[in-house]
């Protein structure tokens, strides 16, 4: 490889593509297994890097790193079979890599968001150009260095550091063959428009306003515990965090009291402390936008039961666990995505109204249904506009299953066999 090519991240991953696509699956799998081992070895350091750059509590950061390792191992073991040729009716259907894929990634899960795409992409034979969020440069460098060490070469995944306005020219570059983006719906529209203009395949995982439906026959204590955890993960800064709680009127008051008790256990703390369960938000402007959603909703008639005031703690953008009841359509915390630790509860008359309100959103990423009757929960779940629905559980992404959304939550899928096949050429070879 010439030095000039190595100094240019896009030139480097472009030049490396032919080597990677020719690399046997076993060699790619070995690289991913080594990456998994390095992630496990360095979980403490990488978690602390996240805590310093975007405020994630160390305990949550270590769990994120281990989840990345699990994704690497999953595709190392399963990837070849997922991409195996399919022979039928005198033809072979092949799955061949496309080339360099541009990954535009967010700050909220700075390792997981990258590895959940990069592990299957590398296993499929695609090289990766990573444009990470500007507030997590150390995480971006750490990922590139770790992949380089795992594969014994530093040109399979390269990080590029540039402002957002320079992303579209990068998408337009003919060397980029596809684009994956995780972030806001507004930014996703711009990425999709640029990719469309230049006929580049794209996968978009965008915003969410996930409804959690609590039916009258639910285990209320268990539901409250799960709902609180689903709302408070990463200080509520997750596309698939629980955001709207639709509760049957027969159990509304009891559930709200239980949820308040669970949320009150999340107290702002030092993200570098292993005991911390609620760290600061990533930026002060995000905290202030969230507070505006809360105060506007209170002015519109929502009832504040917990939190709702900006604390002055260590000059960091903390926001407390906040609970609002009496939330209705038309209020900002119902109509918009709330990217922070705010739970909005709506009293609902019956299952039909619950389903209608759950779907009354431009988003369709995740949802959850709580009921003691599994058949009833499944019937409700099947009518929800969402890419993932959890029954009596928290919505999570998992390397084994496809993940993504509908409506303004994006298109395409990550993870599972669907994810590894997003960035391949499905070639029919007629015999």
Residues labelled as active-site residues: 205, 239
Which of 157, 147, 198, 150 lies closest to 174, judged by CA? 198
d(CA 251, CA 348): 10
Give the C-alpha separation, 382 to 352, whole Å. 13
The residues, ordered by sequence, that sit 6+ positions from 27 with a Cβ below 8 Å of its Cβ are: none
Of 227, 338, 218, 340, the residue nearest 278 (C-alpha): 340
The Cα 282–Cα 267 span in angstroms is: 17
Cα–Cα separations (whole angstroms), residue 116 to 73, 121, 150: 11, 9, 16
For 254-318, give the DSSP string.
HHHHHHHHHHTT--B--TTSTT-SB---S-HHHHHHHHHHHHHHHHTT-EEEE--S----TTS--
- For residue 165, report the phi and psi dihedrals to the nearest 5 degrees: -65, -15
Cα–Cα distance, 81 to 95 (Å, whole number) = 11
User: ∠ CA(121), CA(208), CA(343), 5° rounding?
Assistant: 135
DSSP symbol at 109 = S
CB 318 within 8 A of CB 281: yes
């Amino acid at each position: 490889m010439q030095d000039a090519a190595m100094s240019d991240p896009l030139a480097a991953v472009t030049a490396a593509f032919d080597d990677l696509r020719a690399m046997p699956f076993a060699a790619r799998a070995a690289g991913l297994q080594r990456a998994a081992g390095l992630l496990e070895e360095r979980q403490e350091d990488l978690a602390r890097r996240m805590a310093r750059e975007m405020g994630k509590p160390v305990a949550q950061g270590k769990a994120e790193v281990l989840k990345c390792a699990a994704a690497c191992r999953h595709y190392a073991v399963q990837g070849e079979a997922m991409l195996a040729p399919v022979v039928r009716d005198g033809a072979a259907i092949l799955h061949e890599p496309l080339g360099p894929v541009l990954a535009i990634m967010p700050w909220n899960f700075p390792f997981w968001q990258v590895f959940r795409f990069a592990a299957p992409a590398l296993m499929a034979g695609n090289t990766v150009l990573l444009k990470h969020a500007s507030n997590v440069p150390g995480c971006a460098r750490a990922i590139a260095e770790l992949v380089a060490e795992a594969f014994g070469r530093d040109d399979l995944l390269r990080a590029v550091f540039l402002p957002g306005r320079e992303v579209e020219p990068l998408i337009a570059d003919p060397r980029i063959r596809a684009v994956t983006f995780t972030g806001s719906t507004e930014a996703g529209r711009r990425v999709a428009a640029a990719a469309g203009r230049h006929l580049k395949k794209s996968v978009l995982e965008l915003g969410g306003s996930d409804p959690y439906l609590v039916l009258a026959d639910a285990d209320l204590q268990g539901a409250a515990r799960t709902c609180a955890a689903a709302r408070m993960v990463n200080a509520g800064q997750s596309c698939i965090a629980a955001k709207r709680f639709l509760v049957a009127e027969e159990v509304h008051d009891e559930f709200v009291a239980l949820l308040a008790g669970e949320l009150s256990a999340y107290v702002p703390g030092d993200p570098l402390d292993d005991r911390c369960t609620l760290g600061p938000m990533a930026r002060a402007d995000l905290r202030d936008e969230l507070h505006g959603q809360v105060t506007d909703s209170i002015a519109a008639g929502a009832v504040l039961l917990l939190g709702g005031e900006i604390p002055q703690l260590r000059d960091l953008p903390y926001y407390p666990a906040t609970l609002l009841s009496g939330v209705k359509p038309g209020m900002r915390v119902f109509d918009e995505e709330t990217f922070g630790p705010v739970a909005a509860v709506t009293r609902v008359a019956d299952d039909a109204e619950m389903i209608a309100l759950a779907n009354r959103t431009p988003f369709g990423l995740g949802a959850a249904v709580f009921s003691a009757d599994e058949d009833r929960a499944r019937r409700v779940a099947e009518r929800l506009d969402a890419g993932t629905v959890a029954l009596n559980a928290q919505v999570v992404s998992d390397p084994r299953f496809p993940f993504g959304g509908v409506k303004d939550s994006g298109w395409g899928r990550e993870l599972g066999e669907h994810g590894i096949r997003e960035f391949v050429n499905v070639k029919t070879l007629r015999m």
